Amino acid sequence: MTTLILPVLPHRHTPEKNPLLAAFETPHQTPPFDQIQLTHYEPAFKQAIVEAQKEISAIATSRQQPDFENTMAALDQAGEKLNAISSIFFNLNSACTSEEMQQIAQKISPQLTEYSNSIYMNPDLFARVKKVYENKSQLQLTPEQNTLLEDTWKSFLKGGANLQGKAQKRFREISMELSQLGLKFEENTLAETNGFILHVTDQNDLSGLPEGVTEMAALTAKEKGMDGWLFTLHAPSYIPFLKYADKRELREKMYRAYASRGNRNNEYDNKEVIRKMTALRLEKAQLLGYDTYADYVLSDRMAQNTATVNTFLTQLLTASHPYALAEKEEVTEFAHQHGLKGELQRWDWAYYSNKLKQEKYALDDEMLKPYFQLENVQTGVFGLAHKLYGLNFKEVNDIPKYHEDVRTFEVYDTENQFLAILYIDFFPRESKSGGAWMTEFRGQHKKNKQDIRPLVSLVMNFTKPTDSKPSLLTFDEVTTFLHEFGHALHGMLSQCTYNSTGGTNVYRDFVELPSQIMENWALEKEWLDTWAVHYQTGEKIPQEYINKIREAANFQSGYQSDRQLSFGMVDMAWHTINIPYEGSIQAFETQAMAPTETFPPVDNSCFSTGFGHIFGGGYAAGYYSYKWAEVLDADAFSVFKEKGIFDPATATSFRKNILEKGGSEHPMVLYKRFRGQEPSIDALLERSGLKKHHSI
């Protein structure tokens, strides 16, 4: 429901209209970023919460007999304006923040949590939901309606609807504190990332670094009014520095700075935040009758329980760890042959691995980057969406943007029907969190029988263009683009009825299937040939380079698998504690990751204190889902490999059964409808080269 805007009366002074509370009179009702000021957010949130509470109250106190439409569907639609404001604010708080915005977030988050609690803990509302749920067998619901009913029922139970008195009061307090701590964790991590620079003034210290990397560092220094070269902890600077810099002591300095973020005992330290968050999550779960927070989370995931996740992680570790140890041994031997004295350390790994990769496959990112100009990659990715799903992208400039770097596109299908707006924000800046992600300013749903199309946003941290070169991506950045674009397709192609079931509103361990399957095309000559040309000469990427990419695809796949598994294991360790942990964060983490370790520990380094996925994002007790979805995507892509990577029938089936369905049915039902059977781990082991026995 929209917020009531009072008519303007003549001859009276009226306060400035808040653009967040007005109807968006923009193309496709996109957010009016050009009109929104920071001062608009708090009053907008305040009014939208009041309006949303009225809508909830009207549902709860209705004199009509509770049924699916007047209770479940009405709840799904309630608070629409509040949801729109929240999407705008919190997306910008990640992509284009400021100190003032972070302060507003800390003020607003408890109010939003209280609003959420007031829904789940409203006894009259819960009684209506319960009545509908108990009568579900007589309601003749569609599969999507049934899913919405089941999910709403679970949300009430997990939101504390059955709690009474002191327990309910404590649940509210915990929820509010957790919302603030998650924000604090992210703010600290961003401050720590921005707080370190490596200022190089001696050209000799640049030895080994590619021209594009040093040029970007010179540009960064110039922007800060400094001479020489500036290297930062943002990915486009940090990753190539560790991979190419010959100066070992500088690699060590960069590594230690990155690995100790949030663990410096300063104002941005995250150790106490982690202790508080894990203790509060545990208490929240135990209030609801679960032994651990992981049990609470996994009760509505494909994996279903802690035992399944731990067995899954162990199964993959058993397959990958022997390879990881052999790969470590190989790099160590190679490094010693090439002048390394003493033990191979973590800051040596990327450097010597890259040199070994060059020696084995004559392949290096710097060879490939000229063929991966960002504009061409975008053409290739859009072209793939056209080939598979008939999508067309039209860049438009009449849609307001939140930053000058953002580009906006209208997306149409083959019949020229409007599908979505796509925002793309490519480059790093100090106001943007690290990593890459897809989000929405509005999700797809139906309202008054009208199909409301989504406003989807992709946020990246890719290498910026310089004075002499366009933005040239690494192969990893190409796969990152494909990955996030897969999430975007999930949002843009959605054909659901309800807000709660549309697009990426699916189980966390299913949401990575549409994204990870897209990465497979990066290894396919048939696709690369359609767009990958040298940015200066226009020549196609040579066949031998494509062969090398494919040959090198499983280079150190054991080590890479172990690394991902270590993240999943430390996540599960933090969320399977059954009493609050008050000891050393590093000691806890070291023990959790021990089964995957191949390196000696590094003083003051701590992965957990920068692990935004689980302490600042939504992946707590869910990081395993990346590997879980790899099983799904390897199995699903095997159909494309068998039928043809652009096969229209396979693409149509994937679109109709997976991408359009969102969370409207159980993910395994959807997957089997596409695949014809449950997924097997074998396809992943085969693709990763971890199935067949070979010596390295």
**Residue among 539, 213, 215, 530 at smallest CA distance from 377:** 530
> What are the pLDDT digits (tens) for 641-671?
999 999 999 999 999 999 999 999 999 999 9
* pLDDT for residue 10: 38
SS3 469: coil
From 144, 440, 484, 524, the catalytic residue: 484
Say which residue, 683 or 379, is predicted with more confidence.
379
* Phi, psi torsion values for 210, nearest 5 degrees: -65, 155
pLDDT band of residue 2 (cuts 50, 70, 90) is: very low
* pLDDT for residue 11: 38
> What are the pLDDT digits (tens) for 558-573?
999 999 999 999 999 9
Among 228-237, 335-344, 682-691, the least confident range: 682-691
> What are the pLDDT digits (tens) for 293-331?
999 999 999 999 999 999 999 999 999 999 999 999 999
Whole-Å CA distances, 183 to 177, 270, 283, 429: 10, 11, 20, 19
* pLDDT for residue 396: 98
The average confidence (pLDDT) of the chain is 95
- Rounded to whole angstroms, the Cα distance separating 681 from 677 reads 13
Is 484 part of the annotated catalytic residue set? yes
> What are the pLDDT digits (tens) for 119-172?
999 999 999 999 999 999 999 999 999 999 999 999 999 999 999 999 999 999
Helix ranges, 224-345 (H) = 235-244, 248-259, 271-287, 293-298, 306-337
Q: pTM score, two decimals? A: 0.93
Domains annotated for the chain, with CATH where assigned, are 27-120+122-158 (1.20.1050.40), 196-259 (no CATH), 370-550 (1.10.1370.40)
Specify the long-range contacts of residues 324-332, CB closer than 8 Å, at least 24 apart. 324/558, 324/559, 324/561, 324/562, 324/596, 324/598, 325/558, 325/598, 326/558, 326/695, 326/696, 327/556, 327/558, 327/559, 327/696, 328/559, 328/598, 328/599, 329/696, 330/356, 330/696, 331/356
pLDDT band of residue 681 (cuts 50, 70, 90) is: confident
* pLDDT for residue 15: 52
pLDDT at 351 over 70: yes
* pLDDT for residue 683: 87
pLDDT band of residue 5 (cuts 50, 70, 90) is: very low
**CB-based contact 492:420 (threshold 8 Å):** yes
Among 71-80, 182-191, 399-408, 546-555, the least confident range: 546-555
